[in-house]
Amino acid sequence: MAKVLIVDDQNIFRLGLKTLLERIGDYDTVLTASTGKEGLELALLHALDVVITDFDMPEMNGVEFAKRLRAQDESVKIIALSMYIQGEVVREMFAAGADAFLSKDSAIEELSLALESLKKGDRFISPKVTDAFLKSGPPKADLPKPDQLSDREREILQLIAEGLSNKEIAFELEISVKTVEAHRRQVMNKLDIHSVAGLTRYAIQTGLVTL
């Protein structure tokens, strides 16, 4: 029997996955957290075997969460879930310490396969993610131009690259957190970059921010 933690900001998905894992019957405890911060706090209180985390979360995304969790616990197994399955996202998550990566629309049978692989000490990437990863090829050398972003989007990109959270950006610009999140999604979609680390690197490479 094992302890599992699910970290996802979407209530319906988080609770639905908890119910499915409890039905599998291999886990005596299935904990949930809605933010990376809450997940890290629970990880300190419980001897976790597996953590299943979303990639795209506000304030602390899956990459940053995985890095901090791995620093806290070298033995815990980390499964990343995401609707974004581009090559850069997969690379970022594995570099941060993930042991498995699945598309968020994977069937429960695929998650079961991932859990079995981790028990054996193997890594796991779902076939759909592998296919997208291979098609994406190496990191792009030609960067999209910043001028395709609106003034507000460039402003938010700069603040993200400077390390500000969504709440801090909202306070700085005197707008709502939801508006910041909407602009962030637009920036990611326009640039085809779906991680904070990737956005930061892009902002540095294009001169929007300096080290």
Per CATH, the number for 146-205 is 1.10.10.10
Q: Region 83-91: what's the mean pLDDT?
A: 78
CATH class of 2-136: alpha beta
Banded model confidence at residue 26, pLDDT cuts 50, 70, 90: confident
For 4-8, what is the mean pLDDT?
95
Distance of CA 33 to the CA centre of its chain: 14
For the question of whether the overall pTM of this predicted structure is more than 0.85, the answer is no
Average per-residue pLDDT for the chain? 86
Q: Which percentage of the chain shows pLDDT scores above 90?
A: 46
Distance (Å, rounded) from C-alpha 67 to C-alpha 81? 15
What is the tens place of the pLDDT at every residue in 59-68?
788 888 999 9
**Residue tagged 């629970």 (tokens):** 42
Cα torsion for 135, 208, 205, 82, to the nearest 10°?
-30
CA dist 17 and 209 (Å) reads 39
Q: What is the CA radius of gyration of the chain?
A: 18
List pLDDT tens digits, range 103-160. Answer: 988 888 898 899 999 988 999 998 888 876 666 555 555 677 778 899 899 999 989 8
What is the percentage of the chain residues whose pLDDT exceeds 70? 93
Q: Which residue has the higher pLDDT, 199 or 135?
A: 199
Which of helix, strand or coil describes residue 159? helix
- Do 48 and 3 touch, CB atoms closer than 8 A? yes
pLDDT at residue 135, as a whole number: 63
3-state SS, one letter per residue, for 92-147: HHHHHCCCEEEECCCCHHHHHHHHHHHHCCCCEECHHHHHHHHHHCCCCCCCCCHH
The domains of the chain are located at: 2-136, 146-205
Res. 8: pLDDT tops 90: yes
